[in-house]
Amino acid sequence: MRPVFIAPLLFLFLSCEKNKNAIAVPDKSAFPERWELVEMRGSQINAEPLRGEGMAWQSRYIFHKDGSFQKFRMINGDTISAQGTFKWTVIEDRHYMELSYTSGKELIESCSRDTDTLLYGEGGTLITSWEICDGPFLVYKPVSE
């Protein structure tokens, strides 16, 4: 084989190699998806993480195939709910879920008054952006029924 043919094949092979540091894309076909709050940390440096019943509240998202979501927060025996729509976006190879609330805006866990932005992180977690504006650092994980 001539070197002229080898160079394009080598380029094609190397350009198709997967980025070993990339986070796997979330499975957007598995609906409804249920995610529960599994870790909460204060905004102070080196704050100890709280888990389970030690957290200030419990929270759950349910994402539906039609792009809608429901959110529930359980605190002191009461349940508060919210709903809205979501969409996935990619910024610099990182996957984010943007949530737009139609009700229950008091449950927004970000600096915005209308939307939440959740980062799809390592280990298949969703991480809120609330800590940027001195809110707690919150981590959600998927759960099966």
Per-residue pLDDT of the chain (145 residues; tens, 9 = 90+): 444 433 333 333 333 344 444 555 556 566 789 999 999 998 777 888 999 999 999 999 999 999 999 999 999 999 999 999 999 999 898 999 999 999 999 999 998 888 999 999 888 999 999 988 888 999 999 998 6
Quick check: pTM over 0.85?
Answer: no
Element (H, E) at 101: strand 94-103
Q: How many CB atoms lie within 10 A of CB 53?
A: 6
CA Rg value for the chain: 19
Q: Which residues, in sequence order, are CB contacts of 131 under 8 Å at separation 6+?
A: 41, 43, 137
